[in-house]
Amino acid sequence: MVNEKSDVLKKILETAIVQENKSKKFYLKMRDQIQNEDARKRLKLMADSEQEHEEIVTSWYEEAYGKTFDPESTTSHENRLDVQKLDDNAALIDVVRLIAKAENKAYQFYKNAAFTAKTPEEKKLFETLASAEQMHADQSLTELDMLAGEEFFFSDEEIPWEI
């Protein structure tokens, strides 16, 4: 499948596998720690999506290099998610904001990987993954707008009891 099995491509694929695995585990861990059912469902959906991405990249790696790569075997801290701790009563908007940030980082990673790709096949794979991550980020930003975008209009005269 891959004609040029460069060290750069191997490192990109290994990093992608590790980060997709971490993302999946992160979303599941967050889901287990919060009570908001809508947020829990959203995090499960994201974990499932990250699992899909991990399987795609793992399959490509195995086909390209003829061996498996265990994401647990590395201690790489490259491209770590920079996220805050949510409390167990986190609102859906907090979770969606976190997802948007993480997915945007994933998009940037795959966009950069596509830029460094040596073959059209590599470029297409990374662009496809970048597109999927961008879609998740955009979807989350749209959700944020919907969750935070409620505006209320009133005049001072309408406020009861002159608060």
**41-89, pLDDT tens digit by residue?**
888 998 999 999 999 999 999 998 999 998 888 755 554 444 455 555 6
| Domains defined along the chain, listed by start | 7-69+87-148 (1.20.1260.10)
Q: Compute the C-alpha angle 72/78/84, nearest 5°.
A: 90
Contacts of residue 29, Cβ cutoff 8 Å, sequence gap at least 6: none
- pTM of the predicted structure, to 2 decimals: 0.74
Q: End-to-end CA distance of the chain, in Å? A: 69
pLDDT tens for each residue of 33-42: 888 788 888 8
The more confident residue out of 129 and 79 is 129
Q: In which band, very low, low, confident or very high, does the pLDDT at 120 lie, cut at 50, 70 and 90?
A: very high
Span 141-157, mean pLDDT? 67
Instruction: Assess contact for 76 and 22: CB atoms under 8 A.
Output: no
Phi, psi of 157 (to 5 degrees): -65, -25
Percentage of the residues of the chain whose pLDDT score is greater than 70: 78
Span 91-114, mean pLDDT? 86
Separation between Cα atoms, residue 42 and residue 52, nearest integer Å? 16
